[in-house]
Amino acid sequence: MRDHGGDLDRARAAFGGSDWIDLSTGINAIAYPVPPLPSHALIALPTGSDIRALETVAARAYGTRTSIVALAGAQAAIQLMPRLAPAGRAAVLTPTYNEHAAALRAQGWAVEDAPDPEAMAGADLAVVVNPNNPDGRHWTPDVLERLAGRVGLLVVDESFADPCPRLSLAPRLADLGERVLVLRSFGKFFGLAGLRLGFALGGAETVAHLRSLAGPWAVGGPAIVTGMAALSDRKWHRETCRRLARDAVRLDGLAAGSGWRLVGGTPLFRTYETGDAATVQNWLARAAIWTRRFPYSTGWLRLGLPGTEAAWQRLEAALARQGQ
């Protein structure tokens, strides 16, 4: 089994308890308020016009004029992406979200780890997560556009880009043809991961191929209604970006007070060098606070941002006890 954040079953099995604060993901802890759902969203299959309306709203929100397809989360796009071309040599910029390499290998691709974009040149398919999970590294659209000319297909996973719009390649896609596919997550920034909604943006042929692979009704009525409302709500987007930026600074302050060094992150999560991530994770787990560590680092620990003042105070108290 591949390890992920959000695995509270494992936390409960190891430490017991029920009143957990889950900081192991990069999902916004203060979710967009779900609008009232009309009955047809639950009892009828989505129509083509329903899905097209959602995709139009999403394209406007992402500032793109290219083709777009709605899917059941960015994860659905990750699972389908290896089937867009015959298996060949893929390069994945690492360390990063482990599902990209796993999905490619499952479809017969030979996957190489790449430390930077320059090392990906010549690959039949290249994957860059921008900004990257978990270390927060990021690359400008100029860098990625140059890379697109040196690989067969460039897949840019922008699942954490909502608070960082200047990093997005989406506004340039109309001029890049079939060379680039951008993935966007809805659930992370809007805090509605259970809704299972995401998008893939790219050339008309590539997006049509993905739509065919996904099949009919790739997204459900509740996701369509909620997605249209949330992606249209620019005021909520602006206010949330400001709050996340403030909270990231607050979390960095708590971490510094515990002697941790910031590795990097985004406004949705922070990754720290703690010296001994297993010990720190276990300590926080005894206070029913779950965090994320990584098999390739003994020191890195990733935390999402608490959503309530009570959660902040519990985290602060747990860190204070650890230092005693």
Distance between CA 263 and CA 241 in Å, rounded?
A: 21
Range of the domain at 264: 8-31+235-322
Helix (H) or strand (E) holding 301: strand 300-304
> 206 and 222 share a domain?
yes
Domain count, the chain: 2
> 122 and 267 share a domain?
no
> 200 and 251 share a domain?
no
What pLDDT is stored for residue 3 in this prediction?
A: 81
Per-residue pLDDT of 152-208, as tens digits, reads 999 999 999 999 999 999 999 999 999 999 999 999 999 999 999 999 999 999 999
Residues belonging to the chain:
324
Tokens of 231: 């992606």
> 175 and 303 share a domain?
no
CATH of the domain at 89: 3.40.640.10
> 223 and 246 share a domain?
no
> 54 and 155 share a domain?
yes
- Dmax over Cα atoms in the chain, in whole Å? 60
* Domain boundary pick from 232, 261, 290: 232
Domain assignment of residue 247, yes or no: yes
Distance between CA 121 and CA 194 in Å, rounded?
A: 36
* Domain boundary pick from 232, 248, 277: 232
Domain assignment of residue 3, yes or no: no
4 vs 293 pLDDT, higher one:
293
> 206 and 77 share a domain?
yes
Q: How far apart are the first and last CA of the chain?
A: 36
In DSSP notation, 76-95 reads HHHHHGGGGS-S-EEEEESS
Say if residues 185 and 163 touch (Cβ distance below 8 Å). Answer: no
Per-residue pLDDT of 189-198, as tens digits, reads 999 999 999 9
> 25 and 73 share a domain?
no
Domain assignment of residue 2, yes or no: no
> 210 and 225 share a domain?
yes
Q: How confident is the model at residue 321 (pLDDT cuts 50, 70, 90)?
A: confident
